[in-house]
């Protein structure tokens, strides 16, 4: 009897949500509008807006879609685990506890997935940075302006940093200055290397310093930084490769070397 009641309550949740939002909201589109409006009014305590903006998803629709996906998956997993545990004759307290933990785990996993996407994008931008800055240096040395050089890179290159340059150019075409557009790019991309590069360009253009020397110095630093990252990754990979060698291959080799001697000693002892 308790199982039937709990399952009926779980299936009645969507109807309760509809009634809570608005008793006259019959169409699905009206319900979707009210759900998205409720999500838009919620406080963004985990800086989802800023993190999505770093991925190039700065519209309010992107935030609403992310929150709907996060809440929807969490609620669906909670309901499925709840129904399964109740049907398999578990106690209501255990079912509620495990279902709540499952929903919370899915919520956290989706949040961590967003953080992982941001981290991967930052690594891609930093990996592309030395080549892009060398292209920018060559274009400016050939007589192009910084804006036209960025436009050339945005049109010819494929990568995350070229997309950021395209965003800068689009903002400049709306009437913003190049300095403010570059500064917004530096705030959007949470990378120390990119921030230093943008600060150097803005400072050099405002003070009239030679831009080629600034870019050449940053290109050398970017290549050195990239080389250090590769060396650190190689060192970590070397340590990781030692684990199977020390704990798997070496003991097996020692066992094969000692096994004949141990067999002969057992024969002599017998």
pLDDT at residue 24 in the model: 45
The 3-state DSSP class for residue 74 equals: helix
CB 42 within 8 A of CB 63: no
Ordered alpha helix ranges (H), the chain: 2-21, 28-41, 48-54, 60-87, 92-141, 146-156, 160-173, 178-188, 192-207, 211-244, 250-269
- Whole-angstrom distance, CA of residue 246 vs CA of residue 240: 10
Nearest Cα to 62, choosing from 19, 114, 2? Answer: 114
Query: Is 189 a residue whose pLDDT tops 70?
Result: yes
- Least-confidence region, from 24-38, 137-151, 158-172, 210-224: 24-38
Question: How much of the chain, in percent, has pLDDT values that exceed 90?
Answer: 3
Query: Is 45 a residue whose pLDDT tops 80?
Result: no
Query: Is 261 a residue whose pLDDT tops 70?
Result: yes
Query: Is 3 a residue whose pLDDT tops 60?
Result: no
Domain spans, the chain: 2-118, 123-227
- Whole-angstrom distance, CA of residue 138 vs CA of residue 144: 9
pLDDT at residue 34 in the model: 54
Binned at pLDDT 50, 70 and 90, residue 59 comes out as confident
- Whole-angstrom distance, CA of residue 3 vs CA of residue 95: 11
- Tens of pLDDT, residue by residue over 8-25, are 545 445 444 444 444 444
Instruction: Compute the average pLDDT of residues 134-155.
Output: 86
For 86, counting Cβ atoms within 10 Å of its Cβ (0-12 exposed, 13-18 middle, 19+ buried), the class is buried
- Tens of pLDDT, residue by residue over 88-98, are 877 888 888 88
What is the pTM (predicted TM-score) of this model?
0.66
- Tens of pLDDT, residue by residue over 69-111, are 888 888 888 888 888 888 887 788 888 888 899 989 999 999 8
pLDDT at residue 16 in the model: 45
pLDDT at residue 23 in the model: 42
pLDDT at residue 105 in the model: 93
- Whole-angstrom distance, CA of residue 121 vs CA of residue 55: 8
pLDDT at residue 38 in the model: 54
CATH entry 1.10.1760 includes domain 123-227: no
pLDDT at residue 150 in the model: 87
């Amino acid at each position: 009897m308790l199982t039937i009641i709990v399952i009926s309550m779980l299936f009645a949740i969507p109807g309760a949500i509809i009634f809570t939002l608005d008793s006259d909201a019959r169409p699905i589109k009206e319900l979707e509008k009210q759900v998205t409006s409720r999500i838009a009014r919620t406080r963004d305590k985990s800086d989802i807006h800023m993190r999505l903006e770093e991925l190039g998803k700065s519209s309010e629709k992107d935030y609403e879609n992310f929150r709907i996906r996060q809440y929807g998956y969490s609620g669906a997993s909670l309901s499925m685990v709840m129904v399964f545990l109740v049907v398999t004759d578990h106690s209501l307290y255990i079912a509620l506890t495990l279902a709540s933990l499952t929903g919370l785990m899915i919520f956290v996993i989706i949040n961590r997935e967003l953080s992982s996407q941001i981290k991967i994008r930052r690594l891609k931008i930093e990996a592309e940075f030395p080549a892009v800055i060398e292209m920018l240096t060559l274009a400016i040395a050939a007589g192009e302006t910084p804006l036209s050089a960025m436009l050339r890179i945005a049109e010819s290159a494929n990568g995350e940093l070229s997309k950021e340059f395209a965003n800068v150019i689009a903002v400049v075409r709306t009437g913003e200055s190049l300095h403010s557009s570059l500064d917004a790019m530096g705030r959007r991309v949470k990378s120390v290397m990119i921030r230093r590069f943008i600060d150097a360009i803005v400072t050099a253009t405002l003070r009239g310093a030679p831009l080629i020397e600034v870019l050449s110095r940053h290109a050398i630093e970017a290549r050195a930084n990239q080389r250090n990252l590769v060396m650190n990754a190689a060192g970590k990979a070397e340590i990781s490769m030692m684990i199977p060698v020390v704990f798997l291959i070496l003991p097996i080799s020692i066992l094969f070397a000692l096994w004949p001697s141990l067999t002969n000693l057992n024969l002599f002892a017998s």
